[in-house]
Amino acid sequence: MITKEVLTLVLYTPMPPELIWATESNETMTLQEVEHQGVTLIVQPTGMNTGRIVQIKSTDPYVFLKQEYQPGRTIFFGPELELKGDATGALGSTPF
């Protein structure tokens, strides 16, 4: 009788799986830095005046606990949001 031993790998990381096991691609993702009520966010535009939060840029740990700033949530680009450029500091796109 032949038995196989199965090993389980546990990877503890804050990075999403699609970044860990990503393959090289020619696609680029446009990211913009937006300030909302004093909180700087990295946002991927998804449509007219809307965007998906990709990252929170803050040193205040309480900002990360707020539901409205959680990555993956869609926000509205209204007059209260200040557009600061893209994640690289200039208008354009960031390759991923």
What is the tens place of the pLDDT at every residue in 84-96? Answer: 655 554 444 444 4
Q: Total domain count for the chain? A: 1
| Element of type H or E holding 20 | helix 17-20
Strand runs labelled E in the chain: 28-29, 32-36, 39-47, 50-57, 74-76, 82-86, 94-95
Which of the four pLDDT bands, split at 50, 70 and 90, describes residue 79?
low
Above 70 in pLDDT, residue 3?
A: yes
Token reading at 79: 């007059």
Which of the four pLDDT bands, split at 50, 70 and 90, describes residue 54?
very high
Is there a domain that residue 45 lies in?
yes
Is there a domain that residue 41 lies in?
yes
What domain range is 38 assigned to? 28-88
Is there a domain that residue 21 lies in?
no
Summary mean pLDDT of the chain: 77
Is there a domain that residue 46 lies in?
yes
Count CB-CB contacts under 10 A for residue 14: 4
Is there a domain that residue 75 lies in?
yes
C-alpha torsion 11→14→17→23, nearest 10:
-100
pTM above 0.85, yes or no: no
